[in-house]
A and B are shown apart, each in its own frame.
Chain A
Amino acid sequence: MLKEAKSSKIAKGLVVLSLNEEGRVEPEKINHILTELKKEPARRALPILRKFLTLIKRQINTYEGSLEKFDSNADSSSNLISDKISHARGKKINLVIQENQSLIAGFRMRIGDDVYEDSIASRIARLKKSLT
């Protein structure tokens, strides 16, 4: 457990080194870290790297998300949603627009572990749940 804590501490330190002033992950900095680690591999490189990967993914999820709509076109609704979530989170959130016909209409946005949904499919699913 102590070793895990140590690996975790090292990985967290590496994450801090990978971020820019806005708190976003910079690929160049990550490449630089990986190169340095290859030159002088740490004793428990694998757990540290695993933890590093998890933390980087988590960090990315704080400012990147996905927006599912019935079509893949960016329109005023998707821009409005992007602006609103950026305002709420206090930073610019990048939303990748994906097509999902099963929604019928509306949207489903996922950012990190939070899922916001207001679609016809979700309302129908809610109705089904309340009826059964």
Chain B
Amino acid sequence: MITLASLSETTSGIVEKFGIDWPLLVAQGFNFILVAVIIWHFGLKKVLLTIKEREEKIADSLKNAEKIKLELESTEKQQQETLQEASLEAKKTIALAQEKAKSYIESQKEEARKQAEEIIEKARSSMALERQRVLNDAREEIASLVVLTASKVLQRELGDDEKSRFSESAAKEIKFSA
């Protein structure tokens, strides 16, 4: 009982000293709890949920990041290999193209040379043809002159005796068949 009384004196002393108003405190406590519940229900819960989600996301992202990092590494490796291969192929293709270009140039030169030779050959043969044609024409003209001359001379210069002699010999030589 003394303890209780001293406790109550101490308590009221403390209350007086620190200005604690019990009804107010209780009311405030009640208010606090009410606000806390409201805040918990409408605010904190969601916030905590969001925080949890974010934490999960962050954890996933970190996991993905790891995966991506690995993939990136492997892709980079592949890329390097592909680039290497491509560059080798490119080198091969360039070498081939250079070879082809070279042989193409050579073949074009050869072609041009052949064409030039052909043109010269054609010119030569057409000149030869022309010469032949002129010679043929000359030959025909000369032949016609020879024949005409012979005919005219023989007609005029052969006497009747000679003509008769010719006819006699022709008649003697000719052979008839049935």
Contact indicator B168/A77 (Cβ below 8 Å):
yes
Complex CA–CA separation, A88 to B173 (angstroms) = 14
Chain A residue numbers with a CB within 8 Å of B174 are 81, 84, 116, 118
Asked if B154 lies at the interface with its beta carbon under 8 angstroms from chain A, I say yes
Q: Known pairs A80-B171, A104-B155, A118-B174. 10 more at Cβ < 8 A?
A: A75-B167, A76-B168, A84-B171, A84-B174, A85-B176, A88-B177, A105-B167, A106-B167, A131-B143, A132-B143
Chain A proximity of B139: nearest CB distance (Å): 7
> What's the least CB distance linking B156 to chain A, in Å?
10
Kindly state the separation between the CA atoms of A6 and B168 in the bound complex, as whole angstroms.
Answer: 49
Listed A/B pairs (13) with beta-carbon separation below 8 Å:
A70-B167, A81-B171, A81-B174, A88-B177, A101-B155, A104-B155, A104-B158, A105-B154, A107-B171, A119-B170, A120-B166, A127-B146, A132-B143
CA distance A116 to B168 in the complex (A): 15
Q: How many residues of B contact A (CB 8 A)?
A: 27
Say yes or no for B147: interface residue by CB 8 A criterion.
yes
Indicate the member of B154, B170, B177, B178 with the most A CB atoms within 10 Å.
Answer: B170
Contact B167 A84 (CB under 8 A): no
Provide the residues of chain A in CB contact with B61, threshold 8 Å: none
Q: Which residues of A contact B166 (CB under 8 A)?
A: 105-106, 120
CA distance A87 to B178 in the complex (A): 9
| A90 interface residue (CB < 8 Å to B) | yes
Provide the main secondary structure of the chain B interface: helix
Contact pattern, B 134-147, Cβ under 8 Å of A = 1, otherwise 0: 00000110011011
Q: A104-B151, A105-B167, A124-B151 are in contact. Are A88 and B176 (CB under 8 A)?
A: yes
- Rounded to whole Å, the gap between the CB of B173 and the closest CB of chain A is 7
Q: Is chain A's binding surface mostly helix, strand, loop or mixed?
A: helix
Residues of A near B150 (CB, < 8 A) are 124, 127
Contacting pair B163 A70 (CB below 8 A)? yes
Nearest chain A CB to B145's CB is how many angstroms away? 10
Complexed CA–CA distance, A33 and B42 (Å)? 155
Partner of B167, one of A101, A107, A131: A107
CA distance A107 to B167 in the complex (A): 7
Interface string of A82-94 (1 = CB under 8 A from B): 0011011110000
Q: Are A118 and B173 closer than 8 Å at their CB atoms?
A: yes
- A88-B176, A104-B154, A116-B176 as given contacts; A132 in contact with B167, CB under 8 Å: no
Query: In the complex the two chains form, what is the Cα distance from A116 to B140 in whole Å?
Result: 28
Distance from A62 Cβ to chain B, minimum over Cβ atoms (Å): 11
CA gap between A77 and B168 in the complex, in Å: 5
Contact A128 B155 (CB under 8 A): no
A127 to B149, CA, bound (A): 13
A69 is an interface residue with CB less than 8 A from chain B: yes
Asked whether A55 is an interface residue with its Cβ less than 8 Å from the other chain, the reply is no
Q: Is B84 an interface residue (CB 8 A)?
A: no
Most buried by B among A101, A120, A127: A120
